[in-house]
């Protein structure tokens, strides 16, 4: 479904990603783990196209080479909104809800590209089912929500776009351990409903617990990859990258 | 005296608010400080002149059907053309420097000067007459107010309400609000920000053109190549005192400036001579108390 | 003794100027400017260069404020006008009648203090807010100068007139000699202003400015007194802006409200972008291009050329096209060449220089460089990929 | 390396080369005159100085040029922009004047319209000791602070047109005090304001029963002395006469577009005469708003924009009944032999009416021609001596022209009569797309000063004596059969507004026989 080959990203001389290659098959749940600054967020931003959507006059423009294919179509040159249209939905780091809109409006913005009202309504019910707290907070300004609620809102908003491939960036950031697990549980549930998921996480344990296949990203390169079992076999990987 | 301040202040305040609305809209959505805003005011007025009053394009024959049609058609055409022109100019000139604050200001200032010189070359410096759309006057609290001003006041309030509903209820309006709050997240929702910016620019310029036609037809009754400067100065001081990017702020700011101008004109000795500094003074005072203006709290774009 | 001295001077010249194309170009330009009065017979052409010098001082001061400290000002005419009016009031025989070598320093120091006061908003607001707030300052002042109750001081839009000339014309002088004097005075002031600003920009203070420009919060965290430096930026810039205003006032021999005109606030902006923002030399090149293009090529040469060779007489209304042409050039440059003409040229020259350096350092270094380049471009294979 | 040096040198030579420009060779048998003015404005062209100067040049050159010492000299004109629009730029004005003098080789400059830039031009001309004839700017100080203060430097500076600010003030005062508010004027038909609009509650230095007057001036320097004189209680009775009582005064900043607040104050001050003094664009909306609000006061004053032929169109006809200072009416034969000939050939040449800058430029070139022929020289010092000689005077387009000791225009007789014939300002009133001279009186072309009908609805009272009687019928009958093309056309007699004074007008007047306001 998603195939990345030799993706290299430079930020004003500094290399953020170095020849990264990665593959996600339809229906898979793939995790990418790596420490801070290893280029995880850059990877997702490159896939969803926002990386290159820096305003033209801005000084620090990244440069990108390599190829990103989605369902056999190259999307590395596409605009972010066209990539969204294809069904690649990026749930960004730090949630980023529209702060001065209500929760409901935020969810509605998720369905911006969709026309069919009854389906939208069905999906809204589904999101409420997944995150009942959002229904309670529907009329509240999203900036007044707590961190966990905002994360739920962000995932819910992404779901409203009817994703084929859902890119989730650090859903556990700044959440209490209990909440982390709850969020991950919902993500798994979404995956089970048929959405392909590419999860980027710093928290190795929860990623190992949920993802089918895991890539380890270090210093902008893919250090290694494999299923949980494969990775746990290698002592080096365990100690150096996973810290287990 | 107090009646004068209230009546005349309200009428000019309403028109000022309309003028400032476009300026605040384009900044709020795309972060562009459009120093050519006054130029679109002027372009709208000149197009109204071209379509409505003189020359080859004149739509005066329409008035044979009904006397109100000619000016009305000219008004709509002028506003529409300004929108198209501004969208094209945005794409060619402003888009390549978007995100570079100083660059945007330089290109828009250049654009303003270019438009001024073009109009000087095409129409020459002398004033062109812009007839009021309606004639006659009414008495309000014993003060004479021309009907044209009442019409302009009414139209600005209506446009304000329409825009308010548009941004809060319509899909495109929601997209505008979303982009103004978080450009990148909005993009991830599938909003085509490039097209949205262009649309906002057109909308902003159309509001400026509408303000141009109504203000010139009701107050000055003439168009000249330098009528961009005063509207620009007015709109930016109103917008800054109300808070850049805030629609509410521009409405309130417009009325504050309208009342303050009248109060100074009437209350200060020789106050009429320093009317032009009233908007700036109010702006500076407000800024010293509240650095982001009355309602300015636009969320910074990610860097 | 003398020969060794000359030899040493020569070798140092070769080492520091001759070998570096950008500096060589600057040196040649400076020489050209120094000797130009001997080549020009016509006072009008000299006058163009004098005005270019004044505009260059003004634009350099703007460039320093915006390009180095990142505080956008669209109302720089305020310093120009304040400097002009203060020196006018002090030197006018109707008020104080002081000599200009006293009034100009007083005026620029006073403008410095006023810049301090005007800088206060810059501490509260930034970005577009600051730009638009500063834009309103000269408009406020121009209106106040014309305000009726203040008329007995400022003489309304008529201004203060009958001021002493920058270079007094003595009995034996012709107008041409006076112009040459004015030219050298303005050139020296321009040279001094740009050297001082260049030194400041490249000193420790300049480094602090750049750090504030890059990240204000981080600078604050590093213990930099951001307030102090921001105000300092305003004051230094205001000082040189006022200097330009003083020179202009004594060149024209009167000060009037058009000194605060908005076009005068925009002109340094446009000129700086033409030459290159944040470079100090960019605005100078821009100012010269502006005046030569506007006052020589379009006002004088082109109509004459067309009349004599083509036989076409341009209508006087062609004047309106001049600003249009100039602004159009700037607009295209800002979009296509955001660095500006001068910056672009020196960057190109800098590229040349680098290549040559490697050439001269010998084949060994060159080879290792090539190798290094190769390795960085190839990179190492990722350890794992599916 | 060598290539780079060559490049540098080439660049340097190029720079030298572009600036090193051979001067035009001083042409023999030519007199080069520079015209510098507000390019783009009507004061420049086609209604103003450029076309008038070209017309004078063509006429003189066709007739053999200027005869100096037996050799004919052709007039060559060079044109320059004074950079007054859109914003005045003194620096550019100076440069332009300098260019005309040094590059174009002009021996004499004519021009200067906006005060801010005219002072630049004055400095440039003084630097080069080139004669400058100001044509357009009225500020007193332009002459007073220069020729009066530093004669050695500014002695080649003259004013040509218009008369200075003080004289303009005297003319308005003469028109209002000597005619409108003068019940005992020696002129037939004068003095109709007093009984109609005198306000018994207004008590001034001369007792009750005065007429309220409002003064609104543009907030510019040249209006300062006018404003001061018209509003100082100890001064204005001397100017406006004992029956004027200034109840309101205001100043409107240059460039204002909304004059309603001031006009509202005028209305509440109960003024019946509104003196307006404008030189800028504000004059247009001011008049339009005066009409829109039907301000119950008749306009009389200075409005430079109102002198333009286009004023009627730009105000949408709202300027009807506006009276203002002017140097010409519409095709008015001020000096019977020459004025109308000039007017007609100018209109034939350009298609528009000439305004005062045109009169000035045309007059100036002829004056220079005559002077040069008289002294057989084009030397500026000889010209100076010639113009300064007490006996110098010439018949200009608008009267007898003569210099004061300060090189200003000599003028006399500001009141409602004009016996001596020296150049003076006239008062013209807009009526039906034409300007008519309403003051001075007793000239062949003088017309009745009409009051706005919303002030004085009894339009059948054509001579404003507050009674429709036989005299009105006789007045109309005297003008029977006239239409606006006739010199003797009287606008007030056409009560039916059909551009013809016929039996219908007389019937209309007769049907109101005996009516009083």
Q: Give the DSSP per-residue string, D361-394.
A: HHHHHHHHHHHHHHHT---HHHHHHHHHSTT--E
Instruction: Compute the nearest-CA separation of C258 from chain D (Å).
Output: 7
Most confident of C223-227, C284-288, C318-322, D3-7: C284-288
Q: What is the pLDDT of residues C178-223, one digit of tens each?
A: 888 899 999 999 989 988 998 888 888 888 888 887 777 777 777 7
Give residue B54's pLDDT: 60
Residue C88 predicted with pLDDT over 80: yes
Give residue A204's pLDDT: 78
> Three-state DSSP class for D257?
coil
**D95: its two tokens:** 């440069």
Please state which of the ranges B216-230, C306-320, C352-366 shows the lowest mean pLDDT: C352-366
The answer to whether the Cβ–Cβ distance between A23 and C379 falls below 8 Å is no
Residue D17 predicted with pLDDT over 80: no
How is residue C7 annotated by DSSP? Answer: H
Most confident of B197-211, C165-179, D299-313: B197-211
**Strand (E) positions, C205-341?**
254-255
CA dihedral C362, C368, C370, C376 (to 10 degrees): -150
Residue B36 predicted with pLDDT over 50: yes
How is residue C189 annotated by DSSP? Answer: H
The 3-state secondary structure of D479-511, one letter per residue: CCCCCCCCCCCCHHHCCCCCCCCCHHHHHHHHH
Contacts of A22 in chain C (CB under 8 A): 385-386
How is residue C313 annotated by DSSP? Answer: P
Contacts of B300 in chain C (CB under 8 A): none
Q: What is the pLDDT of residues D196-220, one digit of tens each?
A: 777 777 776 666 778 889 999 987 7
> Three-state DSSP class for B75?
helix
Instruction: Compute the nearest-CA separation of B205 from chain C (Å).
Output: 19
**Strand (E) positions, C233-355?**
254-255
A141/B contact by beta carbon, under 8 A: no
> Closest by alpha carbon to B236, among B38, B31, B15, B45?
B38
Q: What is the pLDDT of residues A89-128, one digit of tens each?
A: 888 877 777 878 888 888 888 888 888 888 888 888 888 8
- Residue C361 — very low, low, confident or very high, per pLDDT cuts 50/70/90? very low
Contacts of A107 in chain B (CB under 8 A): none
D467/C contact by beta carbon, under 8 A: no
Is the CB of residue D107 less than 8 Å from the CB of residue D31? Answer: yes
Give residue C106's pLDDT: 93
Please give the C-alpha separations between residue D345 and each of D334, D339, D400, D445, in angstroms, as whole numbers: 16, 10, 21, 20
Among chain A residues, CA nearest to C336: A57
Among chain A residues, CA nearest to C383: A223
**Cα(D135)–Cα(D153) distance, integer angstroms:** 20
Is the CB of residue C376 less than 8 Å from the CB of residue C312? Answer: no
- The angle formed by the CA atoms of residues B62, B65 and B68, to the nearest 5 degrees, is 70
Instruction: Compute the nearest-CA separation of C101 from chain B (Å).
Output: 34
- By Cβ distance, the residue of B177, B181, B192 closest to A81 is B192
Among chain C residues, CA nearest to B97: C335
Q: Provide mean pLDDT across the span C287-313.
A: 87
Q: Provide mean pLDDT across the span C99-126.
A: 86
The answer to whether the Cβ–Cβ distance between D253 and B124 falls below 8 Å is no
Q: Using only C-alpha atoms, what is the Rg of chain D?
A: 26
Q: Which of residues 96-155 of D touch C (CB under 8 A)?
A: 96, 98-99, 102-103, 115-116, 119-120, 123, 127-128, 139, 141, 145, 149-150
Contacts of B186 in chain A (CB under 8 A): 98, 109
Give residue B302's pLDDT: 29
D–C contact: 3+ Cβ pairs < 8 A: yes
Q: Provide mean pLDDT across the span D319-323.
A: 91
Residue B155 predicted with pLDDT over 50: yes
Is the CB of residue D495 less than 8 Å from the CB of residue D509? Answer: yes
Enumerate neighbours of B (3 or more CB pairs within 8 A).
A, C, D
For the stretch B166-170, contacts whose Cβ atoms lie closer than 8 Å and that sit 24 or more positions apart, written own/partner, are B167/B247
B162/C contact by beta carbon, under 8 A: no
Residue C70 predicted with pLDDT over 70: yes
Please state which of the ranges C213-227, C232-246, C255-269, D373-387 shows the lowest mean pLDDT: C213-227
Q: What is the pLDDT of residues B188-214, one digit of tens each?
A: 888 888 889 999 999 999 999 999 999
**Strand (E) positions, chain A?**
2-11, 14-24, 29-33, 62-70, 73-74, 88-91, 165-169, 196-201, 213-218, 221-227
The answer to whether the Cβ–Cβ distance between C382 and A18 falls below 8 Å is yes
The answer to whether the Cβ–Cβ distance between C384 and A222 falls below 8 Å is yes
Contacts of C331 in chain B (CB under 8 A): 93, 107, 110-111, 114
Q: What is the pLDDT of residues D334-352, one digit of tens each?
A: 888 888 899 999 999 998 8
User: At C254, phi and psi to the nearest 5?
Assistant: -155, 160
Is the CB of residue D335 less than 8 Å from the CB of residue D29? Answer: no
**Cα(B125)–Cα(D83) distance, integer angstroms:** 12
The owner of tokens 């708003």 is D289
Q: Provide mean pLDDT across the span A65-80.
A: 83
How is residue A219 annotated by DSSP? Answer: T
C149/B contact by beta carbon, under 8 A: yes
Q: How many CB pairs under 8 A join B and C?
A: 119
User: At C301, phi and psi to the nearest 5?
Assistant: -70, -50
- Residue C386 — very low, low, confident or very high, per pLDDT cuts 50/70/90? very low
The answer to whether the Cβ–Cβ distance between A21 and C379 falls below 8 Å is no
- The angle formed by the CA atoms of residues D55, D57 and D63, to the nearest 5 degrees, is 105
**Cα(B121)–Cα(D375) distance, integer angstroms:** 44
Give residue D15's pLDDT: 55
Is the CB of residue D254 less than 8 Å from the CB of residue D282? Answer: yes
- By Cβ distance, the residue of B240, B273, B276 closest to C133 is B240
Among chain D residues, CA nearest to C163: D123
Q: What is the pLDDT of residues A61-72, one digit of tens each?
A: 788 888 888 888
The larger pLDDT score, comparing residue D12 to residue C292, is at: C292
Give residue D21's pLDDT: 45
> Closest by alpha carbon to B17, among B287, B253, B273, B269?
B253
> Closest by alpha carbon to C322, among D361, B113, D298, D258?
B113
**C265: its two tokens:** 């606030």
Give residue D192's pLDDT: 60
**Cα(A123)–Cα(A118) distance, integer angstroms:** 9
**A62: its two tokens:** 């990244």
Mean pLDDT of all residues in chain C?
A: 82
Give residue B303's pLDDT: 28
> Three-state DSSP class for D73?
strand
Is the CB of residue C59 less than 8 Å from the CB of residue C283? Answer: yes
Give residue C380's pLDDT: 42
- Residue C381 — very low, low, confident or very high, per pLDDT cuts 50/70/90? very low
The owner of tokens 């089912």 is A129
The answer to whether the Cβ–Cβ distance between B110 and C327 falls below 8 Å is yes
A124/C contact by beta carbon, under 8 A: no
Among chain B residues, CA nearest to A94: B185
Among chain B residues, CA nearest to D86: B226
**DSSP states along D110-178:** EE--SHHHHHHHHHHHHHTT--EEEES---THHHHTTTTT-HHHHTTEEEEES--HHHHHHHHHHHIII
Please give the C-alpha separations between residue B43 and each of B124, B153, B212, B213, in angstroms, as whole numbers: 14, 21, 8, 10
Q: Provide mean pLDDT across the span D137-166.
A: 85
**Cα(D107)–Cα(D34) distance, integer angstroms:** 8
A–C contact: 3+ Cβ pairs < 8 A: yes
> What does pTM read for this prediction?
0.86
Q: What percent of chain B has pLDDT over 70?
A: 91
Residue D24 predicted with pLDDT over 60: no
Contacts of C144 in chain B (CB under 8 A): 274, 277
**Cα(A163)–Cα(A26) distance, integer angstroms:** 12
Strands A165-169 and D207-218: unpaired
> Closest by alpha carbon to D319, among B221, C267, C327?
B221
A50/B contact by beta carbon, under 8 A: yes
Q: How many CB pairs under 8 A join A and B?
A: 87
Is the CB of residue B259 less than 8 Å from the CB of residue D322? Answer: no
Q: Using only C-alpha atoms, what is the Rg of chain A?
A: 18
Specify whether the backbone of D27 is left (phi greater than 0), alpha (psi in -120 to 50) or beta.
Answer: beta
Give burial (CB, 10 Å; 0-12/13-18/19+) of A71: middle
Residue C373 predicted with pLDDT over 70: no
Which residues neighbour A125 within 8 Å (Cβ) at sequence distance 6 or greater?
none
Residue C294 predicted with pLDDT over 80: yes
How many Cα neighbours within 13 Å face the side chain of D168? 29
Residue D257 predicted with pLDDT over 80: no
Give residue B300's pLDDT: 36
Instruction: Compute the nearest-CA separation of A21 from chain B (Å).
Output: 23
Residue A171 predicted with pLDDT over 90: no
Q: Residues of B at the A interface (Cβ-Cβ below 8 Å)? A: 95-100, 103-104, 171, 174-175, 177-178, 181-182, 184-194, 299
Instruction: Compute the nearest-CA separation of A64 from chain B (Å).
Output: 18
C266/B contact by beta carbon, under 8 A: yes
Give residue D276's pLDDT: 93
The larger pLDDT score, comparing residue C374 to residue A89, is at: A89
**Cα(D506)–Cα(C32) distance, integer angstroms:** 84
Calculate the CA B295 to chain-centre distance.
19
Omega of the bond leading into D162 within 30 degrees of 0 (cis): yes
**D90: its two tokens:** 């003194």
């Amino acid at each position: 479904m998603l195939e990345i080959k030799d993706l290299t990203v430079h930020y004003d001389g500094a290399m953020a990603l170095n020849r990264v290659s990665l593959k996600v098959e339809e229906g898979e749940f793939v995790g990418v783990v790596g420490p801070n600054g290893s280029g995880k967020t850059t990877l997702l931003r490159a896939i969803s196209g926002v990386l290159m959507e820096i305003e033209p006059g801005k000084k620090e423009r990244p440069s990108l080479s390599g190829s990103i294919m989605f369902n056999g179509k190259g999307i590395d040159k596409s605009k972010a909104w066209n990539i969204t249209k294809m069904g690649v939905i990026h749930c960004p780091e730090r949630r980023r809800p529209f702060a001065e809109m209500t929760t409901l409006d935020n969810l509605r913005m998720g369905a911006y590209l969709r026309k069919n009202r009854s389906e939208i309504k069905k999906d809204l019910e589904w999101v409420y089912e997944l995150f009942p707290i959002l229904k309670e907070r529907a009329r509240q300004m999203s900036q007044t929500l707590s961190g966990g609620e905002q994360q739920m809102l962000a995932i819910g908003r992404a779901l409203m776009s009817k994703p084929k491939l859902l890119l989730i960036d650090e859903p556990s950031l700044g959440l209490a351990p209990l909440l982390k697990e709850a969020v991950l549980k919902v993500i798994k549930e979404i995956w089970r409903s048929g959405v392909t998921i590419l999860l980027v996480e710093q928290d190795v344990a929860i990623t190992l617990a949920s993802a089918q296949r895991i890539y380890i990203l270090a210093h902008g390169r893919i250090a290694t990859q494999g299923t949980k079992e494969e990775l746990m076999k290698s002592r080096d990987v365990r100690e150096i990258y996973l810290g287990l | 005296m107090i009646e004068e301040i209230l009546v005349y202040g309200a009428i000019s305040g309403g028109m000022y608010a309309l003028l400032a609305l476009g300026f605040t809209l384009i900044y709020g959505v795309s972060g562009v400080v459009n120093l050519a805003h006054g130029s679109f005011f002027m372009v709208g007025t000149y197009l109204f002149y071209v379509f409505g009053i003189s020359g080859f394009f004149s739509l005066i024959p329409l008035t044979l059907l009904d006397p109100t049609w000619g000016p009305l058609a000219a008004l709509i055409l002028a506003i529409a053309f300004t929108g198209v022109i501004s969208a094209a100019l945005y794409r060619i000139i402003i888009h390549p420097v978007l995100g570079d604050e100083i660059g945007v200001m330089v290109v828009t200032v250049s654009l303003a000067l270019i438009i001024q010189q073009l109009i000087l070359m095409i129409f020459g410096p002398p004033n062109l007459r812009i007839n009021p759309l309606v004639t006659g006057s009414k008495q309000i609290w014993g003060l004479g107010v021309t009907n044209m001003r009442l019409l302009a006041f009414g139209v600005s309030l209506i446009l304000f309400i329409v825009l308010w509903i548009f941004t809060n209820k319509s899909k495109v309006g929601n997209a505008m609000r979303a982009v103004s709050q978080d450009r990148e997240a909005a993009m991830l929702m599938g909003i085509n920000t490039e097209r949205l910016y262009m649309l906002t620019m057109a909308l902003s310029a159309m509001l400026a053109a509408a303000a141009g036609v109504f203000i010139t037809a009701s107050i000055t009754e003439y168009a000249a190549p330098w009528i961009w400067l005063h509207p620009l100065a007015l709109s930016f001081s109103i917008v800054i005192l109300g808070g850049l990017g805030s629609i509410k702020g521009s409405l309130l700011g417009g009325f504050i400036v309208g009342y303050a101008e009248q109060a100074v004109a009437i209350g200060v000795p020789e106050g009429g001579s320093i009317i032009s500094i009233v908007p700036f003074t109010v702006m500076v005072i407000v800024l010293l108390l509240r650095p982001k203006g009355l309602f300015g709290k636009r969320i910074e774009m990610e860097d | 003794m003398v020969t060794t001295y000359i030899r040493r001077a020569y070798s140092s010249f070769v080492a520091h100027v001759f070998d570096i194309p950008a500096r060589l170009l600057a040196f040649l330009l400076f020489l050209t400017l120094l000797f130009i009065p001997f080549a020009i017979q016509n006072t009008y052409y000299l006058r163009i260069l004098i005005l270019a010098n004044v505009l260059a001082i003004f634009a350099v001061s703007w460039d320093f404020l915006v390009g180095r400290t990142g505080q956008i000002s669209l109302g720089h005419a305020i310093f120009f006008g304040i400097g002009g009016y203060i020196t006018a009031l002090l030197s006018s025989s109707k008020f104080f009648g002081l000599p200009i070598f006293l009034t100009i320093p007083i005026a620029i120091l006073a403008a410095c203090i006023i810049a301090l006061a005007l800088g206060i908003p810059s501490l509260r607001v930034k970005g577009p807010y600051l730009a638009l707030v500063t834009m309103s300052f000269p408009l406020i002042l121009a209106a106040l100068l014309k305000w009726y109750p203040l008329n007995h001081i400022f003489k309304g839009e008529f201004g203060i007139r009958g001021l002493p000339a920058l270079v007094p014309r003595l009995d034996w002088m012709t107008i041409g000699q006076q112009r040459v004097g004015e030219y050298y005075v303005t050139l020296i002031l321009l040279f001094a202003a740009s050297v001082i600003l260049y030194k400041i920009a490249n000193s420790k203070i300049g480094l602090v400015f750049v750090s504030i420009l890059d990240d204000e919060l981080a600078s604050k965290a590093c213990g930099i007194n951001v307030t102090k430096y921001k105000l300092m930026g305003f004051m230094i810039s205001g000082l040189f802006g006022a200097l330009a205003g003083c020179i202009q006032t004594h060149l024209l021999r009167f000060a009037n409200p058009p000194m605060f005109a908005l076009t005068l606030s925009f002109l340094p902006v446009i000129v700086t972008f033409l030459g290159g923002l944040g470079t100090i030399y960019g605005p100078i090149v821009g100012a010269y291009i502006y005046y030569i293009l506007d006052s020589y090529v379009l006002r004088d040469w082109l109509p004459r050329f067309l009349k004599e060779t083509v036989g076409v007489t341009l209508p006087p209304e062609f004047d309106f096209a001049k600003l249009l042409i100039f602004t159009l050039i700037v607009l295209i440059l800002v979009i296509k060449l955001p660095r500006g003409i001068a910056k672009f040229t020196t960057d190109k020259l800098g590229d040349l220089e680098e290549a040559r350096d490697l050439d001269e350092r010998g084949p060994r270094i060159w080879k290792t460089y090539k190798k290094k380049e190769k390795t960085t471009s190839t990179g190492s294979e990722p350890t794992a990929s599916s | 390396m060598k290539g780079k040096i060559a490049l540098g040198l080439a660049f340097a030579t190029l720079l030298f080369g572009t600036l090193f420009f051979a001067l035009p060779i001083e042409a023999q048998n030519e007199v080069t005159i520079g015209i510098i003015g507000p390019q783009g404005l009507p004061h420049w062209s086609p209604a103003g100085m450029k076309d008038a100067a070209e017309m004078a040049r063509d006429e003189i050159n066709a007739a053999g040029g200027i005869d100096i010492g037996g050799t004919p000299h052709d007039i060559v004109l060079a044109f320059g922009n004074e950079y007054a629009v859109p914003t005045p730029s003194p620096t550019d004005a100076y440069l332009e004047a300098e260019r005309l003098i040094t590059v174009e080789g002009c021996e004499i400059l004519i021009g200067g319209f906006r005060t801010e830039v005219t002072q630049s031009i004055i400095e440039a001309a003084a630097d080069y000791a080139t004669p400058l004839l100001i044509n357009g700017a009225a500020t007193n100080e332009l002459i007073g602070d220069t020729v009066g203060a530093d004669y050695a430097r500014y002695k080649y500076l003259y004013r040509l047109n218009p008369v200075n600010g003080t004289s303009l003030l005297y003319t308005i005062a003469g028109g209002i005090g000597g005619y409108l508010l003068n019940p005992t004027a020696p002129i037939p038909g004068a003095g109709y304001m007093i009984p109609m609009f005198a306000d018994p509650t207004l008590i001034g230095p001369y007792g009750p029963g005065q007429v309220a007057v409002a003064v609104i001036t543009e907030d510019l320097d040249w209006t300062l002395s006018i404003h001061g004189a018209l509003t100082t209680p100890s001064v204005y009775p001397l100017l406006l006469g004992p029956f004027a009582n200034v109840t309101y005064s205001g100043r409107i900043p240059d460039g204002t577009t909304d004059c309603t607040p001031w006009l509202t104050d005028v209305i509440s001050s109960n003024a019946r005469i509104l003196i307006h003094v404008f030189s800028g664009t504000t004059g247009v909306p001011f008049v339009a708003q005066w009409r829109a609000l039907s301000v119950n006061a008749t306009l009389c004053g200075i409005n430079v924009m109102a002198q333009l032929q286009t004023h009627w169109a730009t105000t949408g006809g709202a300027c009807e009944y506006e009276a203002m200072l002017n140097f010409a009416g519409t095709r008015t034969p001020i000096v019977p032999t020459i004025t109308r000939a000039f007017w007609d050939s100018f209109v034939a040449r350009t298609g528009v009416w000439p305004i005062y800058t045109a009169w000035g430029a045309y007059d100036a070139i002829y004056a220079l021609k005559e002077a040069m022929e008289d002294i057989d020289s084009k030397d500026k010092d000889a010209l100076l001596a010639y113009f300064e000689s007490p006996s110098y005077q010439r018949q200009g387009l608008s009267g007898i022209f003569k210099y004061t000791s300060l090189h200003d225009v000599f003028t006399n007789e500001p009141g409602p009569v004009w016996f001596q014939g020296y150049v003076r300002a006239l008062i013209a009133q807009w009526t039906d797309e034409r300007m008519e001279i309403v003051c001075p009186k007793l000239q062949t072309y003088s017309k009745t000063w009409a009051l706005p009908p919303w002030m004085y609805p009894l339009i059948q009272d054509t001579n404003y004596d507050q009674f429709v009687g036989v005299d009105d019928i006789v007045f109309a009958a005297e003008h029977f059969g006239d239409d606006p093309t006739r010199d003797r056309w009287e606008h007030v007699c056409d009560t039916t507004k059909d551009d013809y004074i016929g039996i219908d007008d007389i019937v209309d007047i007769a049907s109101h026989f005996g009516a009083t306001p």
